[in-house]
C-alpha cells in the first residue's frame, strides 16, 4: 500500500509539472524531488474539492521533519479545513484588509487565497532568530510535499497578520490554541489547484562560486 501511495505521489508530481512549458534537464526528469521543486507555484485559485485529512496529516508530518536548530522542534502546527473558520475570518478581513477580498472574482471563495485547507504555524520568540528560520524550513517542506501529492500551496502573511493584530479576529486566533509563548507566524494555504500559472523568471546570477 505504501509503495502504491508513493507511486501515485510521484505520478501526481510529474503530471503537475507537465504543463508548465519549461525545458527540463535529464536530471530533473529522473528526480521526483527536483521535479516537485521546479514545478511548484503559488496557487491562488482552488477547486472546491476537500483535501482528505489523512493527506493533510501527512503534509504536516513532512513539515515537522524539516531540519531545525538543535532539534528543539520549537514549533506548533494547526490544520484548518473548516469552511466556517475561513468564512468568519474573511468577513473580518473584508473590513480590515479589503484587498484580500475580491467579490468581483467569480472564483473567489475566501481571504485565504481561496484555499480549501490551511496549516497555521507558530513558534516562540528567540534572540538568535533561529525559530523563524526553522519555521521557514518547515513551510518549504509543507509546500513541496503538497506539490508532490498533486496539491497547490500558497504562503499567507496577510491572514496571519490579521489574526495577530485585529481584536475582532482574536476569537479565531484563540481557536488555534497555541501554547503560551508561541506566536502565529505564517499560514500555508492548501488545496487542489484550479489554475496553472507559469513560472516567474529566476535570476541565476544570484548564484556564484567562491574561488
Tens of pLDDT, residue by residue over 94-112, are 999 998 898 888 889 999 9
Counts of helices then strands in the chain (DSSP H, E): 8, 4
Other C-beta atoms closer than 10 Å to the C-beta of 141 total 19
pTM of the full structure: 0.85
Supply the mean pLDDT for the chain: 89
Model confidence band, residue 85 (pLDDT cutoffs 50, 70, 90)? very high
Measured in whole angstroms, how far is the alpha carbon of residue 90 from the centre of its chain?
A: 18
Model confidence band, residue 35 (pLDDT cutoffs 50, 70, 90)? very high
Average pLDDT on 13-31 reads: 51
Neighbour-count burial for 177-195, b at 16+ CB within 10 Å, e otherwise: ebeeebebbbbbbbbbbbe
Model confidence band, residue 143 (pLDDT cutoffs 50, 70, 90)? very high
- Residue in the structure block whose three cell numbers are 520549537: 74
Torsion of CA 112, 11, 78, 184, to 10 degrees: -60
Q: What is the pLDDT of residue 7?
A: 39
Domain boundaries, the chain: 42-195
Q: What is the pLDDT of residue 146?
A: 98
Model confidence band, residue 13 (pLDDT cutoffs 50, 70, 90)? very low
Q: What is the pLDDT of residue 27?
A: 56
Percent of all residues in the chain with a pLDDT value above 90, rounded to a whole number:
82
Above 70 in pLDDT, residue 89?
yes
Q: Mention the CATH class of domain 42-195.
A: alpha beta
- What is the edge-to-edge ordering of all strands in the sheet holding 152-156? 76-80, 117-123, 183-191, 152-156
> Which tens digits make up the pLDDT trace of 158-196?
999 999 999 999 999 999 999 999 999 999 999 999 999
Which three three-digit cell numbers place residue 198?
Answer: 507559469
Dihedral of CA 176/105/193/39: which sign? negative
Within 8 A by CB and 6+ apart from 195, the residues are 43, 44, 45
Q: What is the pLDDT of residue 91?
A: 97
Q: What is the pLDDT of residue 3?
A: 40
Amino acid at each position: 500500500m505504501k509503495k502504491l501511495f508513493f507511486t501515485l505521489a510521484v505520478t501526481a508530481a510529474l503530471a503537475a509539472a507537465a504543463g508548465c512549458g519549461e525545458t527540463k534537464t535529464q536530471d530533473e526528469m529522473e528526480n521526483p524531488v527536483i521535479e516537485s521543486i521546479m514545478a511548484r507555484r503559488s496557487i491562488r485559485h482552488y477547486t472546491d474539492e476537500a483535501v482528505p485529512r489523512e493527506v493533510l496529516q501527512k503534509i504536516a508530518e513532512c513539515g515537522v521533519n524539516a531540519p531545525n536548530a538543535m532539534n528543539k522542534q520549537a514549533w506548533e502546527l494547526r490544520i484548518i479545513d473548516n469552511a466556517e473558520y475561513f468564512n468568519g475570518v474573511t468577513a473580518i478581513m473584508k473590513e480590515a484588509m479589503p484587498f484580500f477580498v475580491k467579490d468581483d472574482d467569480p472564483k473567489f471563495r475566501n481571504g485565504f487565497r481561496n484555499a480549501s485547507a490551511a496549516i497555521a504555524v507558530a513558534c516562540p520568540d528567540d534572540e538568535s532568530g533561529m525559530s523563524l528560520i526553522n519555521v521557514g524550513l518547515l513551510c518549504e517542506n509543507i509546500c513541496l510535499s503538497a506539490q508532490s501529492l498533486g496539491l497547490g500551496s500558497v504562503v499567507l502573511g496577510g491572514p496571519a497578520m490579521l489574526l495577530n493584530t485585529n481584536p475582532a479576529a482574536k476569537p479565531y486566533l484563540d481557536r488555534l490554541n497555541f501554547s503560551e509563548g508561541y506566536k502565529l507566524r505564517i499560514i500555508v494555504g492548501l488545496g487542489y489547484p484550479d489554475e496553472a500559472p507559469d513560472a516567474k523568471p529566476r535570476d541565476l546570477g544570484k548564484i556564484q562560486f567562491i574561488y
